[in-house]
Structure 1
């Protein structure tokens, strides 16, 4: 399987496309903006305009691939339903759907992929199900925690004077380098019909983590409320490390090396 279509080439999708191209894959990359066509072509990808809100017949060529990676933030269930119908009529055999650990309720426990009773009502779960039931394909769901790295510097997440509640609640974050690494390993190892929760190993409290992040770039840390008891889930990454034998590049959030405005 040497041809990959990546739906969504923003902060995560663009470096992901570059990584697969470097590894020798043929990559088709989508954008919703004509202005980015040249940028995508310049990295060696074959660019396409694809918008799931208004799918056209041009998506047929985009879907002439072995693998589809869906990496967009849309919650348009009707749009995704239409996309799945197009996939079922295409050559796509394998799908990775990039989802989020936000599908779990904020319960004070360690969440694993089997904790389905802790799902909260979410359009993401409906969209995940659409892909899992896409005829003729196998789908792996990848649920990332909060995304950090490069232009997403956690020291900039909160404006000064904003009050952040539950200061001792744990954070569930993952660096972009690890997002790319995990997606690459799923494809390389051909791990399909699975669900993976993906976060760094450590889960410091909000106060500890965001204060350090802000101080390291000379930002004023946010204010932290004291009225609410600590509550919050911890996302386990045990399965992704065990099944993929994946070693995180940034396992300890409190040891991230900051360089200017990048992580």
Structure 2
């Protein structure tokens, strides 16, 4: 399988598409912005102007072996329509990019075996997991950083940061891309993975370090809250894919 379509060429989707082109794949991508199409086509991506909430046909875009879904939409009806198109297309495998926000803050370590919150995202996850016309791997990313997305730029305008003694769950974009490639290379389908660095400093340590490293003043925190936290385990992705995180220390942030 050397053909991949990436639904959502944004902060993650564009460098992901470039990585597949470098690996010799034929790559199709989508965007909801007509302005972006010509620039992305210059990179070698076959671009399509698509918005799943408009319920249009995606026939040409779905002429592919592997579909990677990297959009933030939580439109359940739109995803039902998309899935009906996928099951009648050439697509054999799907990677659905989800989030570790599906886990509640239960003051313990959370694994893929734990119960998740009932919300639109988990409903959409289940729509993919239950479909038997193609195989889906659900990839739950922790908080995303890398490139122009640096934690020093978050919580501006004097906003206080909640739960300072809670723990951060983060993953760098380079690790996201490597894990996606390994799922495909190792043919690891029909499962769920958490993807999160092993390092979980407190929110106080993480955001203070991030701000000071960029020359900002130290952030302020909400100090009088009920203590709530979670630590997301990435043991499964490391064991099954034999993966070692590139960016595993969150107090030495790199671009």
Deviation at 1:179, TM superposition (A): 0.6
| 2:99 counterpart of 1:100 | yes
**SS of equivalent residue, structure 2 residue 211:** helix
Q: Which runs of 5+ in 1 are unaligned?
A: 258-262
Equivalent residue pairs, number:
255
Task: Report what 2:79 is aligned to.
Answer: 80
Query: Over the residues paired in the alignment, what is the CA RMSD in angstroms?
Result: 1.0
Runs of 4+ in 1 over 3 A off after TM superposition: none
CA shift at 1:11, angstroms?
Answer: 0.2
Structure 2 residue corresponding to 1:227, chosen from 224, 232, 237: 224
TM-score by length of 2: 0.97
Q: Equivalences for 1:32-51 in 2 at 5 Å? A: 32-51=32-51
CA distance in 2, matches of 1:60, 1:134: 19
Shift of 1:35: 1.1
Q: Distance in 2 between matches of 1:248 and 1:70?
A: 22
Deviates more, 1:153-162 or 1:241-250: 153-162
Q: Distance in 1 between matches of 2:251 and 2:72?
A: 28
User: Aligned partners of 2:17 and 2:131: how far apart in 1?
Assistant: 24
Is 1:10 the counterpart of 2:7? The answer is no
Deviation of 1:132 (Å): 1.3
TM-score (norm 1): 0.94
User: Counterpart in 2 of 1:61?
Assistant: 60
Please list, as runs of the form range in 1=range in 2, the aligned pairs for 1:1-263 lying within 5 A after superposition. Answer: 1-57=1-57, 59-116=58-115, 119-257=116-254, 263=255
Runs of 5+ in structure 2 lacking a partner?
none
Residues 222, 160 of structure 1: CA spacing in aligned structure 2 closer, same or farther, 3 A cutoff?
A: farther
